[in-house]
Chains A and B, each alone.
Chain A
């Protein structure tokens, strides 16, 4: 493999990895606060992409406007899902909320099948993303640069919110101890809603960029990236935002490089992440940057 191809693969893994990372952040934030695997998160990924498609085809909006609107709508939807399906179950056994989230995931997926039909749809790509730039023998699509750069910007924005704003302080407080946070006057429900909003917005952004990269829309398109992103979150240490980013990038790298170096294994690519997951859980259940889990006695 020559260096140009290698750089190509590196850029591809960066793109894929940052898409996983954006989704993984949503999983990790919700899990960090509520100890809930939000299965419906992968549907936010899918819906974000469909909303852009709608904005362009039905409302004739230009790309960037459609994208912003889709992200805002998806974020609102994420908050609604929390209010309707999870909030009434805050005091219930954790498994109830988990089953509720599986229900919501299937509900949204099937609503999408009803509204958008199950047939895959082509995605319109703006021309400026498709004209390749040639840099020292490496042919790069602007898309391959656009995705990691936008992801980076979003992640920096998120880190600013979590570490520099009052709401972020609240999030960190709730993830440490939800009961004490109530007592200390943290507006717990509002901050949980905000967390769902932010997580869903990032998932939508990821879904939209995914649809640009692999230009096809399907109601089930969120499922596999969703599982992989969750695995990335576990790999990095669930509850840790930095961990989710590292986990996402690592997973993208592993997936692209394995297929690049061992093309025979390409058919198994959707199973890599799960094998990795089981291996990680065996040897380091709390992931790379995860906190120690306490034994309940």
Chain B
């Protein structure tokens, strides 16, 4: 398939998505729109984790930490000084926190950039560690961020967190950022850098022997991943309009990891599909927590059942379909056109 055709098909797909969002905005109820928003944010987060873990082989469990950074930075910037005046009950905010104000686009970008900067900073010592140790150390990093958020009332309002964050993050912002994320990561992986990252994942020692500066590429991948995790966190804060340190527990990283594993480590299209599937599934599973009425006999709802089913699903995937939905394969126009032409023949 020629390049021109691919570009046209991509444009058609983006336009179709735009049309769908436009229809959704007019016709769907608030709950469904909320799910669509979550889908977009989860895809951003899962793509960024897949870049770090699936394509570079860096087992990072620190996503919740980067999300927290993005969420706090963005919220501080989009809340008005008056709002912050009312909000900081424990202790008054630092002056620069109090007076900072920026439009939404700048705030989200700032969230991403600060997350990326901190990612690069902690990546320096941590990325020298091997797989499991890196996992535990990044987990520790996320936990430290959470403890700091709890203990810096003048910056984060401590355990109370922020309420009434302006809800700028609508379908257009979220899916816009989702497309940007997808575009950047696809371009990155298609470039020579992408090949180097995959080489490091497949055999680090060999990559090093070929003269690759392994550390530099790991740091690059980790920083880009942290950037988009920060963006995802920022959008999530504005979507939910409330954040507090408890939100950024390890569970959050776990949900993202689940999407990446289910979609296939090393498959972007798998991540997108799993992002849609799992977000919908997680919402749909709320059914098991509500009372169910069967032939006049009421089954009581079981609170917490949702996560039981969810974690069971992760175990099943890893036991029976270790490579996830797509493995390392990608869905692109070529493979689609092959499917269709085979159907015609």
A contact set with B: CB distance below 8 Å = 35, 37, 85, 88-89, 92, 94-96, 98-100, 102-104, 106-107, 110-111, 113-114, 117-118, 223, 227, 230-231, 234, 267-268, 270-271, 273-275, 277-278, 281-282, 285, 293, 295-297
Contacts and interface: CB of A to CB of B under 8 A. Distances in A.
Nearest to B205: A297
Contacts of A296: 205
Given A223-B250, A227-B140, A231-B136, 15 more contacts: A94-B131, A96-B322, A98-B59, A99-B261, A100-B319, A103-B315, A104-B311, A118-B303, A227-B143, A267-B147, A268-B147, A274-B140, A277-B137, A281-B133, A285-B130
B139 A114 contact: no
A117 B128 CA distance: 41
Contacts of A107: 308, 311-312, 315
Given A95-B59, A274-B141, A110 B132 contact: no
Given A114-B302, A274-B143, A98 B133 contact: no
A98 B136 contact: no
Nearest to A88: B319
Contacts of B251: 106
20 contacts: A35-B132, A37-B132, A37-B135, A85-B315, A88-B319, A89-B319, A89-B322, A94-B132, A98-B132, A106-B254, A106-B307, A110-B304, A110-B307, A110-B310, A113-B307, A234-B136, A271-B143, A271-B148, A285-B133, A295-B205
Contact of A277 (B136, B254, B314): B136
B55 to A, nearest CB: 14
Contacts of A96: 318, 322
Given A96-B318, A99-B314, A281-B137, A110 B125 contact: no
Contacts of A92: 322
A230 B136 CA distance: 9
A113 B126 contact: no
B199 to A, nearest CB: 15
A100 B205 contact: no
B139 to A, nearest CB: 7
A261 B248 CA distance: 30
Interface residues of B, number: 41
A275 B144 contact: yes
Contacts of A111: 308
Contacts of A118: 303-304
A170 to B, nearest CB: 24
Main SS at interface, chain B: helix
A98 B135 contact: yes
Given A37-B135, A98-B135, A277-B137, A103 B302 contact: no
A233 to B, nearest CB: 10
A267 B319 contact: no
Contacts of B250: 223
Interface in B282-329: 302-305, 307-308, 310-312, 314-315, 318-319, 322
Given A285-B129, A296-B205, A103 B318 contact: yes
A262 to B, nearest CB: 13
A85 B141 CA distance: 28
A222 to B, nearest CB: 12
B257 interface: yes
Contacts of A295: 205
A174 to B, nearest CB: 18
Contacts of A293: 130
Interface of B: 59, 125-126, 128-133, 135-137, 139-141, 143-144, 147-148, 150-151, 205, 250-251, 254, 257, 261, 302-305, 307-308, 310-312, 314-315, 318-319, 322
B316 to A, nearest CB: 9
A114 B308 contact: yes
Given A98-B132, A102-B254, A114 B304 contact: yes
Q: Which 4 A-B pairs have the closest CB atoms?
A: A274-B140, A113-B304, A106-B311, A103-B314
A227 B139 contact: yes
B211 to A, nearest CB: 15
A241 B137 CA distance: 21
B46 to A, nearest CB: 14
Given A111-B308, A267-B150, A278 B314 contact: no
Contacts of B305: 110, 114
Contacts of A88: 319
Given A85-B315, A268-B147, A275-B144, A234 B133 contact: yes
Given A107-B312, A114-B305, A274 B132 contact: no
Interface centre among A110, A118, A293 (most CB of B within 10 A): A110
Nearest to B250: A223
B59 A271 contact: no
Nearest to B313: A103
Contact of A110 (B148, B308, B319): B308
A271 B205 contact: no
Nearest to B151: A267
Contact of A270 (B136, B143, B205): B143
Nearest to A105: B311
Interface centre among A96, A106, A227, A273 (most CB of B within 10 A): A106
